[in-house]
Amino acid sequence: MVVRPESPTPAATTRSSSGSPPPADLGAAGKELWRQITSEFTLESSAEVQQFYEACCMEDRAVKLRKHIDREGEMVEIRGTRRDHPCLKHELAARAFVVRTIANLFPSPPAEKPRRYRSSTGYYG
């Protein structure tokens, strides 16, 4: 479970307002994502840290794929036919993984639904 820094947490998981330093092997995009998220949330278990690390790695991969696509163009010619760049689907999958992982690790509070008023009971027979 993820806890906001304002709530009391065990001493081992308490983070300062700047968050924990990102792992050294992350790229620029992954490090930036790590800093942004860890400044707002606290990761309590090693499983959460590992999941978030994988999301940051995928953010780096998505940025690398985007640079590759930008260099070659979004449409490429394969056997005389113009097609979508093959890396587009991989970039989309990487970004979707990042979004899903962050949404699972740091769920937003459920929105309060308006009350439903029922009509008077009638004859349904």
The Cα 95–Cα 62 span in angstroms is 6
Cut 0.85: pTM above it = no
What is the domain count for the chain?
A: 1
pLDDT at 9: 35
pLDDT at 109: 83
Contacts of 66 (CB under 8 A, 6+ apart): 91
The Cα 9–Cα 7 span in angstroms is 6
**Rounded to 10 degrees, what is the CA torsion of 95, 101, 106, 112?**
80
Assigned domain for 120 exists: no
Assigned domain for 89 exists: yes
Assigned domain for 118 exists: no
| Domain coverage including residue 103 | 45-108
Residues 2/43, Cβ–Cβ less than 8 Å: yes
Which residue reads 């780096």 in tokens? 60
CA pseudo-torsion sign 69, 73, 79, 83:
positive
Q: What is the mean pLDDT of each run of 10 residues along the chain (125 residues)?
A: 42 47 93 94 92 96 96 90 93 97 89 74 61
